[in-house]
Amino acid sequence: MTTEVLESWVAGRWQGGSGDGTVVRDAVTGDEVVRVTSDGLDLAEVARYAREVGGPALRALDFGQRAAVLKQVAAMLDERKEELYELSARAGSTRRDSAVDVDGGIGTTFVYSSLGRKGLPAGHVIVEGPPEPLGKNGTFAGQHVLTSPHGLALQINAFNFPVWGMLEKLAPALLAGVPTVVKPATPTAYVAARAVRILDEAGVLPEGALQLVCGSLGDFFDLLGGQDHVGFTGSAHTAALLRSHAAVTSRSARFNAEADSLNCSVLGPDATPGTPEFDLFVKELVREMTVKAGQKCTAIRRALVPAEQLTAVAEAASERLSKVVVGAPGAEGVTMGALVGLEQRDDVRAAAGVLASAGRLVHGDPHRVDVVGADAEAGAFLAPLLVEVTDADRPEPHEVEAFGPVSTLLPYRDTPQLLDLIARGEGSLVGSVVSHDAGFVRDVVLGAAPFHGRLLVLDRDDAGESTGHGIPMPQLMHGGPGRAGGGEEEGGLRAVHAHLQRTAVQAGPRQLAALFAAEDPQAEK
């Protein structure tokens, strides 16, 4: 084996695991990039270092100081983001894709820094609201107080957002005073590792605040308990496996999951061809299919359109999709890169085949793609695939996630059937409704809300400033019920609170005032 082992950042040292490990290949050329293994690393030392070094160092800082650290984290990564762009290209990402991951992650960190600075109180403790009187004579009251637990935040990330995924979890944990251990997905661990190395070289983080384990976590869950927090992003299968570990079921480690999602986008009956909403719908659908080559947890998987518009939408989307140029990131004219690897391409092909068996392909061929600047077979390339399923009751579109440039077009008759189809996704991260009809939008938003973590309404009025269907915002909730994992990430300071322990303190008003004299409830805005 000549390819180098990707080093982990554990207990203050960069260390390589032993053994052959897993070979990670360039998504575009198929060349070996790194080997990933954690064999031989002392993972018990990782947990100890986080708890005994990182935790105390972070808890020694007040909220304002932690927010300042985050600002430096974002600034340092911003300074050297070209390195992250370059590495991301090896994972198949175009510059547009990397902007979502790299700039998105940096922007999220800046936002959290600002939220922390403006929205958290002075000191180390959050006192929630004024005391709640509990006795008739006013001598007994209760108050909630939020403090930093003495554990660690383990984050396990999916391959598609190695930078954003890490930073959106790191930021709230750091503000909460909890040290982080990052376990990146193996296919893009080298991108996450570079971001961590940049932060190490910049020296902006307190010692032990951040560690990185590349490769398997081994028995790490055996070391976790009630002071710890696990933030997982990935498949529903892995989420279910980890959620059932005794660390969670018996010892009550907090567990947050973001998993698969068959997100929908709805075209309103008013949005006929020629209206701005019809064009917005088609544009957004194609964008969601092609950014990150569709490897986005929030991508539109089910495009629900009025039955009478099915053909018009298929034609308009096909026309747009035919302008997509697939190829090596950075090559002349390329607008869509590669999937992360050949295995992923094979999985997506298989899933697209199942979807197509329920209807027909209206755009693209799973086994043929024209590629610019690379070898179509050596790289993990796939054409964007649009499937039309005229029988919207078929189970496949509501059950099968093709985690690539694949969407299904489905017709609906009326609003009740539409809401039924939406619910058949069994819980999604995001849905969108593209319509200028406020009544229709209201019915869809209120009918779909129980099944979604986020809903986007798009029309001619808000399109100019809309952040889009697929982009979670740090100020707003990211997560979803049911199939989507049942978790909540981001959502502004709510994500910080999720890392803190809430304790109800009952005492007389004089004691309460003395206990929290240094903390000002009014300061928490």
Half-sphere exposure of 19 (CA within 13 A, CB side): 11
Min dist CB 237 to ligand NAP, Å, is: 6
What is the C-alpha to C-alpha distance for residues 154 and 229, in angstroms, rounded to an integer?
A: 6
Interface pick for ligand NAP out of 53, 58, 87, 185 (rule CB under 6 A): 185
Task: Assess contact for 459 and 292: CB atoms under 8 A.
Answer: no
CB nearer to ligand NAP: give 157 or 211.
Answer: 157
In this complex, which beta carbon is closest to ligand NAP, that of residue 278 or of residue 403?
A: 403
Distance CA 434, CA 456 (A): 8
Residue 95 Cα to chain centre, angstroms: 19
> What proportions of the chain, in percent to the nearest 5, are helix, strand and coil?
40, 20, 40
Q: Which residues contact 221 (CB under 8 A, 6 or more apart)?
A: 242, 245, 246, 247
In the set 186, 309, 408, 435, which binds ligand NAP (CB under 6 A)? Answer: 186
Catalytic residue selected from 7, 264, 277, 297:
297
Provide the minimum distance between the beta carbon of 340 and ligand NAP in the complex, in angstroms, as a whole number: 9
Q: Tell me, yes or no, if 86 is annotated catalytic.
A: no
Q: Which of residues 215-254 bind ligand NAP (CB under 6 A)?
A: 217, 233-235, 238, 241-242
> x-or-dash pattern for ligand NAP, window 453-492, by CB under 6 A?
--------------------------------x-------
Give the contact letters, 139-158, x = binds to ligand NAP (CB under 6 A), - = no: -----------------xxx
Query: At closest approach, how far in Å is the CB of 493 from ligand NAP?
Result: 20
Binding flags for ligand NAP, 284-303, as an x/- string (CB under 6 A): -------------x------
The amino acid at residue 343 is E
Of the residues 259, 352, 383, 422, which one makes contact with ligand NAP according to CB under 6 A: 259
Helix segments in 91-175, DSSP class H: 95-98, 104-119, 164-175
Shortest spacing between CB 440 and ligand NAP, in angstroms: 28
Query: CA 92 to CA 159: how far, in whole Å?
Result: 12
**Total residues in contact with ligand NAP, by rule CB under 6 A:** 24
* Burial tier of 262 (Cβ tally within 10 Å: 0-12, 13-18, 19+): buried
Active site residue 264: no
Longest dimension (CA), the chain: 80
Residues that bind ligand NAP (CB under 6 A): 156-160, 183, 185-186, 217, 233-235, 238, 241-242, 258-261, 297, 401, 403, 429, 485
Active-site residues, by number, are: 258, 297
